[in-house]
Structure 1
Amino acid sequence: MSDFDEEDTIYVSEPWTEDSDAMVATAPDDTMVPPKAAAKAGLTYFIEIFIAIEVTEGWIGSQKEKPSLSAICDRLIYYAINDA
């Protein structure tokens, strides 16, 4: 369960790593253009919350052991780069 609205979007500084600055915000007018606060912080579109939840829950469910937060982050970055 997420503490964020599933319709919100994650914005992250590039290059995307687990140490990148990030922000969750509502995308203006359903576009990938970051809101002013994200743009001012140098953050770019990463992925919508609902997609991040689906990807991580599905991947975690397929693992024999619960992955570390670092591994989950790496998997989400891989998805955002290669499959989104």
Structure 2
Amino acid sequence: MLEIQSALSLAITVGLFVVKVFALIDCVRRPRIDFEIRQTLEKNAWLVILGLTVAAHLIFWSPLGLLNLIGTVAALVYLAQLRSPAA
């Protein structure tokens, strides 16, 4: 039972890390005009936020840590605002 729980925790941790890295790479590649069109934070602000979330995830590898949960929410908000179809 402990092996299953460990494997599940590792899968969640890696999955959330991939989401954060994907959001950071998307932010780096996205043109600045997209941020203005979507009326969201500036590109530099998102780069700092997403960069810190990836760094925090590397330092604190637990998926249920407070910083990792905040970072996951930030990455998901970024993806919802900038990857969703334009309204």
Q: What is the TM-score when the length of structure 2 is the normalising length?
A: 0.33
More strand by share: 1
